[in-house]
């Protein structure tokens, strides 16, 4: 599938890194003309206008600043890998989740955006009970994507070269939001194709109106959930409503897509993607692509 570059994720505020852009974009939600993005090496939410060229604005999620030094930053970052919209009575409510790959990464944030230029409300939630429930179900914790089906979150735990399968775990949304005890169930394991001997593993997920699920996947040469590795391949994967793999479409160019949104149109699923170059000095990019029929448009 061909990806076309739209823009880099420039912001109107200089970050502690000294850059006026988001790097390491890792989760996104598109709502109308607004695009919301979290980055796994930042403590803020980026808000962008899809219909304009102005830089995005930042909403702080966690107080304080991350170190400029890349190694120290990696140790201390909250590693927000997931962003999704969840139901609320008014406005927009977003849920960001950490990957859980270290103790510092076991936090989430609920962001309420009331609209009408009113300030956002931000609430940090402790996710230690979530990750305690997941530990027995996976070889190594590294949450990278999620979709909401009814009242249930499907969480996608990313594999690596040592543990090639990614896992799909079901948890009740209400339990996650409450920060209390969690009931987790393993729904499926995903063994995706390899590229040059490196397995494709899940980096994000989005739910289509058809009930199918699209995944972004990267073949990254690393054998653990902490260290980055060389990117040798990337793809969009389509799952049926039964969570079975329907097709795998390689990406051109090969980019590490970590945030994904899609809308079904007459000619297929129109995708928006954000990327992570695993380089703090490189801006994340916003891309678009079309995954054609028949399966993406199945009902």
The CA–CA distances, whole Å, from 85 to 30, 97, 168, 206 equal 9, 12, 19, 11
Average pLDDT over residues 238-245: 96
Is a pLDDT exceeding 50 seen at residue 297?
no
- Which residues neighbour 82 within 8 Å (Cβ) at sequence distance 6 or greater? 26, 27, 38, 95, 96, 97, 143, 144, 145, 146, 155, 204
The 10s digit of each residue's pLDDT in 171-186 is 999 999 998 899 999 9
Print the domain residue range for 90.
4-297
Q: Cα 79–84–86 angle (5° rounding)? A: 130
Is a pLDDT exceeding 90 seen at residue 16?
no
For the ranges 132-146, 197-211, 248-262, 284-298, the lowest mean pLDDT is seen at 284-298
pLDDT bucket at 244, cuts 50 / 70 / 90: very high
The side-by-side arrangement of strands in the sheet containing 92-98 is 80-86, 92-98, 107-113, 121-126
Q: What is the pLDDT of residue 142?
A: 95
Which residue would you say has higher pLDDT here, 77 or 36? 36
Q: What is the pLDDT of residue 5?
A: 97
Q: What CATH number is associated with residue 157?
A: 2.115.10
Is a pLDDT exceeding 60 seen at residue 80?
yes
The 10s digit of each residue's pLDDT in 40-77 is 888 899 999 999 889 999 999 998 777 677 777 777 78
DSSP state of 103: G
pLDDT bucket at 295, cuts 50 / 70 / 90: low
Is a pLDDT exceeding 90 seen at residue 31?
yes
As a whole number, the mean pLDDT across the chain is 92
**Contact assessment for residue 41 and residue 21, using Cβ atoms and an 8 Å cutoff:** no
- Which residues neighbour 197 within 8 Å (Cβ) at sequence distance 6 or greater? none
Measured distance CA(104)–CA(241) in Å, rounded: 33
User: What pTM was estimated for this model as a whole?
Assistant: 0.94
Q: What is the pLDDT of residue 122?
A: 95
Torsion of CA 242, 243, 244, 248, to 10 degrees: 140
Strands 185-190 and 245-250: unpaired
pLDDT bucket at 299, cuts 50 / 70 / 90: very low
Q: How many domains does the chain have?
A: 1
Torsion of CA 239, 140, 38, 36, to 10 degrees: 20
| Residue the block writes with tokens 């940090």 | 124
Q: What percent of the chain has pLDDT over 70?
A: 97
Q: What is the pLDDT of residue 294?
A: 58
Is a pLDDT exceeding 50 seen at residue 243?
yes
Q: What is the pLDDT of residue 99?
A: 92
Measured distance CA(171)–CA(164) in Å, rounded: 23
Phi and psi (nearest 5°) for 23? -110, 165
């Amino acid at each position: 599938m061909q990806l076309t570059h739209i823009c880099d994720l420039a912001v109107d505020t200089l970050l502690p890194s000294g850059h006026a852009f988001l790097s390491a974009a890792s989760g996104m939600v598109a709502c109308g003309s607004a695009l919301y993005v979290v980055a796994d090496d930042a403590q803020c939410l980026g808000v962008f206008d899809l219909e304009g060229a102005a830089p995005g604005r930042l909403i702080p999620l966690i107080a304080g600043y991350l170190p400029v030094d890349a190694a120290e930053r990696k140790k201390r970052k909250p590693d927000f890998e997931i962003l999704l919209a969840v139901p609320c009575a008014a406005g927009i409510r977003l849920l960001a989740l950490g990957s859980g790959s270290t103790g510092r990464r076991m936090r989430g944030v609920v962001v309420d955006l009331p609209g009408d230029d009113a300030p956002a409300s931000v609430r940090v939630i402790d996710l230690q009970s979530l990750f305690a429930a997941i530990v027995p179900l996976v070889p190594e914790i590294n949450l990278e994507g999620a979709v909401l089906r009814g009242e249930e979150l499907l969480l996608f735990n990313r594999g690596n070269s040592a543990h090639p399968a990614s896992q799909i775990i079901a948890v009740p949304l209400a339990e996650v939001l409450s920060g209390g005890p969690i009931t987790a169930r393993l729904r499926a394991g995903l063994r995706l194709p390899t590229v040059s001997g490196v397995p494709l593993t899940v980096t994000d997920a989005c739910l289509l109106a058809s009930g199918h699920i699209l995944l972004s996947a990267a073949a990254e040469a690393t054998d653990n959930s902490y260290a980055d590795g060389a990117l040798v391949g990337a793809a969009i994967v389509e799952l049926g409503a039964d969570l079975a793999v329907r097709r795998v479409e390689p990406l051109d160019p090969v980019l590490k897509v970590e945030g994904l949104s899609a809308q079904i149109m007459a000619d297929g699923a129109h995708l928006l993607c954000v990327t992570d170059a695993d380089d703090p000095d490189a801006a994340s990019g916003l891309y678009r692509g079309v995954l054609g029929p028949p399966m993406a448009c199945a009902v």
